[in-house]
Amino acid sequence: MDLNRRHLIGASTAGIAGALAVPADAARAAPLTSLLGRDATQYGVRPGASEDQTRALQRAIDESARTQMPLALPPGIYRTGLLRLPSGAQLIGVRGATKFVFTGGASAIQSDGADSIGLTGITFDGGNIPLPTRRGLIHVLGGRDVRTRLHDDRLRRQRHLARAGLRRHLR
């Protein structure tokens, strides 16, 4: 086949038109995980897997914190036990689409004196598992520059009730 500039431009235009013909739902989809930070799937983390992801998530958290890069979690459900956040750990999910389902332990997230940690765009589901006395699903002791963005209405309501001195268990 004889290729010239006109064929090349025509093929490029067809390719661009095909790429622009993405359904509206896909256009509103989450940003590419790699744009947010280190992609958790590079460490063997698998969204939607039926097995526990605690070991793979912990390895990904430790490595991303060591390199001072956020850990980006694609949309999906992650079954996990206790995860420890070291200084510099930043976990970024997709609001309403990234969910941690607690499988057991003292807490889902624990940080003891770690600085510059953050949780954004992740929904936490306690799975109706009772926690030890004076423990929370997210348990942070000490540390500076601790940031969370909670978008789940039940968590906001629980935080408000805790401030008011009321004790309630959300199911």
Q: What are phi and psi of 42, to 5 degrees?
A: -70, -15
Residue 11 counted as domain residue: no
pLDDT score at 33? 54
Distance, in Å, from the CA atom of 148 to the CA atom of 30, rounded to the nearest integer, reads: 19
Per residue of the chain (171 residues), give pLDDT as tens: 454 544 444 444 444 444 333 334 433 454 555 677 899 999 999 999 999 999 999 999 999 999 999 999 999 999 999 999 999 999 999 989 999 999 999 999 999 999 999 999 999 999 999 999 888 899 988 888 888 876 554 554 444 444 433 333 333
Residue 5 counted as domain residue: no
Residue 26 counted as domain residue: no
Extract the tokens encoding 150. Answer: 């909670």
Residue 61 counted as domain residue: yes
Distance, in Å, from the CA atom of 155 to the CA atom of 88, rounded to the nearest integer, reads: 24
Residue 106 counted as domain residue: yes
17: buried, middle or exposed (CB in 10 Å: 19+, 13-18, 0-12)? exposed
CA 79-80-82 angle, to 5 degrees, is 165
Residue 48 counted as domain residue: yes
The tally of domains found in the chain comes to 1
Nearest in space to 82 (alpha carbons), one of 150, 152, 136: 136
Full-model pTM = 0.70
pLDDT score at 142? 86
Q: Where are the alpha helices (DSSP H) in 23-170?
A: 24-27, 33-36, 54-66, 153-163
pLDDT score at 102? 96
DSSP 104-139: SSS-SEEEES--SEEEES-EEE-TTPPPPTT--SEE
Residue 6 counted as domain residue: no
pLDDT score at 23? 39
pLDDT score at 148? 81
Nearest in space to 45 (alpha carbons), one of 30, 31, 55, 34: 55
Q: Which domain holds residue 68?
A: 32-163
pLDDT score at 32? 52
pLDDT score at 112? 92
Residue 39 counted as domain residue: yes
CA atoms within 13 A on the CB side of 32: 2
